[in-house]
Amino acid sequence: MNIRKWSLKFSNDLRLKYNSESTIKCYEINVLKFLNHFENETEPKAIPNEKIKEYLLSFKTLNTRKQNLCAVKLFYKLTIGMKNKVSKIPYPKKENKLPRVIEKNYLIKTISEIDNLKHKAILSVAYSVGLRVSEVINLKIKDIDSKRNLIAIRNAKGGNDRYVPLSEKLLFLLRKYFQQYKPVEYLFNGQNKLKYTTSSCNQLVKKYLGASYHFHLLRHSCFTTMLETGTDIRIIQKIAGHKSSKTTEIYTHISNSFLSQTNTPI
């Protein structure tokens, strides 16, 4: 099999369909892995479905299996033109696990005591409106609308744009940070790059908040806090950039205030 040919064709097809480089990279990696596994086959269309199933079952976790199945299905649909080739292979049943959250008072106290202004600003921006790590590192200076107290989130998950609120307290912090660091183009510059990195953001969480935590927990913690302090779930959905309200409703299952309002039989 000419792996390079199929890999290149798939990459071109992905770039016609998606704007997100991280999405494209994820699909590319998984399909290249798939092609390398079946390098002795003549062509992708000749790979038997049973062998594809065996390949997918080699991934032990459901999330990894699902991710690889998505990539293989997209490869056959976009590049091979055989959308029904693996259509009957079912997606693994999703595990309904509730997201972890970090306690509000601990978060606010810990972040407020950080001396490094850049680190403090990064964690504050993320927790204030529940931004994904990719949204934080892609923020540009021009996205901060201080006149309308808004932050523009551009080309987020799914290629969508949205606005989120900018509090006076956060604006004050960002102004102090800007005066000290004088960032260029992107709000948070790295040491040797224009953009701060995902791994550096995660290191900040582990350094200041705890080794068992990761950056995305700031997002879960933000929306849980919003819900507990009375923010309408439709507003939270808009701030989060969720397409479906069902995604936002998961926070009702972990909100202490919602649970405390429940009348139990005994």
Q: How far is CA 83 from the centre of its chain?
A: 27
For the chain, helix (H) and strand (E) counts, in that order, are 13, 3
**Nearby residues of 207 by Cβ (< 8 Å), 6 or more positions away:** 119
Question: Does residue 18 have an active-site annotation?
Answer: no
Q: Give every CB contact of residue 146 below 8 A, 6+ residues apart in sequence.
A: 166, 171
Catalytic residue among 9, 66, 104, 157: 157
The catalytically annotated residue of 85, 119, 219, 220 is 219
Rounded to 5 degrees, what are φ and ψ at 37? -65, -35
Catalytic (active site) residue 219: yes
Given the residues 85, 132, 177, 196, the one annotated as active site: 132
Residue of 65, 66, 195, 216 marked active site:
216
| Nearest alpha carbon to residue 30 among 83, 95, 76 | 76
Q: What is the C-alpha to C-alpha distance for residues 153 and 135, in angstroms, rounded to an integer?
A: 7
Q: Is 4 a catalytic residue?
A: no
Can you give the length of the chain in residues? 266
Q: Considering 37, 66, 73, 242, which one is annotated as catalytic?
A: 242
Please say if 242 is a catalytic residue.
yes
- The active-site residue, picked from 55, 127, 196, 251, is 251
Backbone dihedral region for residue 89 (phi beyond 0: left; psi -120 to 50: alpha; all else: beta): beta
Tokens encoding 138: 């892609």
- In the annotation, is 132 catalytic? yes
Residue 37 appears among annotated catalytic residues: no
What does residue 251 show for φ and ψ, rounded to 5 degrees? -75, -15
Residues 6+ apart with CB under 8 A from 227: 233, 236, 251, 252, 255, 257, 258
User: What positions carry a catalytic annotation?
Assistant: 132, 157, 216, 219, 242, 251
